[in-house]
């Protein structure tokens, strides 16, 4: 099992695989920790600590912390060493504090969107959009609860079966994400990123740099001296009133399709996975020919 834990330890180092690795590690703590050797227990504890360090230093998204909270809960319940258990409880407290603060910050926005509450039903109130699919962290506990029991009715799993089980968890997560992506396009740009866009007043110098006849790509009006324009990170200019409704539905520049960051954690994670896969493909393509089977 040490090899499997070592692989999960490495997967925690990538944003694209952190959540699935944390979920699988939580499953190991719950189902395998009691029967593990001392070395395996140390490896599992070290991996959980690694997850906590990454959350505090690099992975600040809500989805990462949710996966971490599940891991720390399972680890805290399984670990018997007092000092190690105290450390897990400290990480769990940090996770709960982070998620509680994030929830508090989002409540005013949710209440503003919801409007005033009413104790009465009105016509059409029950005609609402379909419920969104449950987040992966809600699906994952059910999956890893039944997984090990199906592998071996008596709880004796060899490393090969365990590795297949971990791979199945990862495949399930990727499948759910892909299914969701096929049903919707890219999410809108992050409100924080939109708020950071600078407003530029058009001057003779600005027009000279842009060229005569430059127009707002949305309303097609030619820019004139005195216009206030909003500048995208890609250096394209738009009237603020033209750009606002566009970015409320899209995350890209209307001209060059430069993508801004979104508030959709799953979408951003998928983009990172695709970027990592593309980098690996380029690395393989640039490898020296004839060394495919060279071992070091």
Whether 177 and 191 map to the same domain: the answer is no
Structural domain contains residue 292 = no
pLDDT, residue 15, reads 83
Whether 69 and 177 map to the same domain: the answer is yes
Whether 98 and 228 map to the same domain: the answer is no
Of residues 96 and 160, more confidence is placed in: 96
Whether 14 and 80 map to the same domain: the answer is yes
Structural domain contains residue 99 = yes
Structural domain contains residue 280 = no
pLDDT, residue 150, reads 47
pLDDT digits (tens, 9 = 90+) for 156-210: 555 666 666 666 666 666 666 565 555 567 889 898 998 999 898 988 888 888 8
Whether 44 and 63 map to the same domain: the answer is yes
pLDDT, residue 223, reads 84
Mean pLDDT computed over 63-82: 93
Structural domain contains residue 32 = yes
| Residue range(s) defining the domain that contains residue 174 | 2-105+135-182
pLDDT, residue 93, reads 93
Number of domains in the chain: 2
pLDDT, residue 164, reads 66
pLDDT, residue 84, reads 92
Whether 91 and 197 map to the same domain: the answer is no
Whether 163 and 245 map to the same domain: the answer is no
Whether 146 and 248 map to the same domain: the answer is no
Whether 252 and 151 map to the same domain: the answer is no
Q: Indicate whether this model's pTM tops 0.75.
A: no
Average the pLDDT over each of 55-59, 70-74, 114-118, 204-208 and give the range with the smallest value: 114-118
Average the pLDDT over each of 77-91, 145-159, 191-205 and give the range with the smallest value: 145-159
Percent of the chain at pLDDT > 90 equals 23
The per-residue pLDDT of the chain, averaged, comes to: 77
Structural domain contains residue 295 = no
pLDDT, residue 181, reads 54
Whether 161 and 92 map to the same domain: the answer is yes
Q: Tell which of 143, 161, 182 closes a domain.
A: 182
The domain that holds 209 is classified in CATH as 3.30.40.10
pLDDT digits (tens, 9 = 90+) for 11-62: 898 888 899 999 999 999 999 999 999 999 999 999 999 999 889 888 878 8
pLDDT digits (tens, 9 = 90+) for 219-241: 888 888 888 989 899 988 899 98
pLDDT, residue 30, reads 93
Average the pLDDT over each of 58-72, 112-126, 206-220, 242-256 and give the range with the smallest value: 112-126
Annotate the chain with DSSP letters as a single string.
-HHHHHHHHHHTTSHHHHHHHHHHHHHHHHHTSTT--HHHHHHHHHHHHHHHHHHHHT--SHHHHHHHHHHHHHHHHH---HHHHHHHHHHHHHHHHHHHHHHHHHHHHHHHHH-S--SS--TTTT--PPPPPPPHHHHHHHHHHHHHHHH-TTS---HHHHHHHHHHHHHHHHHHHHHHHHTS-PPPBPHHHHHHPPEEE--HHHHHHH-TT-B-TTT-PBP-TT-EEEEPTTS-EE-HHHHHHHHTT-SB-TTT-PBPPBS-HHHHHHHHHHHHHHHHHHHHHTSPTT-TT---
Whether 65 and 156 map to the same domain: the answer is yes
Q: Quick check: 120 pLDDT over 80? A: no
Structural domain contains residue 88 = yes
Structural domain contains residue 111 = no
Whether 151 and 190 map to the same domain: the answer is no
Structural domain contains residue 117 = no
pLDDT, residue 106, reads 52
């Amino acid at each position: 099992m040490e090899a499997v834990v070592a692989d999960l330890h490495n997967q925690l180092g990538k944003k694209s695989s952190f959540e699935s690795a944390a979920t699988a590690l939580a499953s190991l703590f719950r189902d395998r920790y009691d029967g593990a050797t001392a070395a395996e227990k140390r490896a599992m504890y070290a991996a959980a600590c690694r997850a906590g360090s990454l959350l505090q230093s690099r992975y600040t998204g809500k989805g990462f912390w949710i996966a971490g909270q599940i891991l720390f809960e399972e680890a805290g319940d399984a670990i018997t060493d007092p000092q190690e258990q105290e450390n897990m409880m400290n990480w769990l407290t940090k996770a709960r504090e982070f998620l509680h603060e994030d929830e508090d910050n989002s409540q005013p926005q949710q209440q503003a969107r919801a409007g005033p509450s009413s104790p009465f039903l009105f016509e059409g109130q029950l005609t609402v959009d379909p419920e969104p699919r449950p987040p992966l962290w809600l699906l994952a506990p059910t999956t890893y609860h039944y997984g090990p029991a199906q592998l071996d009715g008596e709880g004796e799993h060899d490393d090969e079966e365990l590795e297949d089980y971990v791979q199945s968890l990862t495949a399930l997560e990727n499948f759910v994400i892909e299914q969701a992506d096929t049903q919707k396009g890219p999410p809108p740009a992050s409100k924080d990123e939109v708020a950071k866009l600078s407003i530029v007043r058009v001057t003779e110098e600005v027009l000279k740099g842009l060229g005569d006849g430059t127009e707002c790509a949305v309303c097609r009006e030619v820019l004139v001296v005195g216009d206030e324009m909003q500048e995208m990170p890609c250096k394209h200019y738009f009237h603020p009133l033209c750009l606002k409704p566009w970015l409320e539905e899209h995350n890209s520049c209307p001209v060059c399709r430069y993508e801004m960051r979104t508030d959709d954690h799953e979408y951003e994670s998928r983009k990172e996975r695709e970027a990592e896969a593309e980098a690996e493909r380029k690395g393989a393509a640039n490898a020296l020919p004839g060394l495919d089977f060279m071992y070091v």
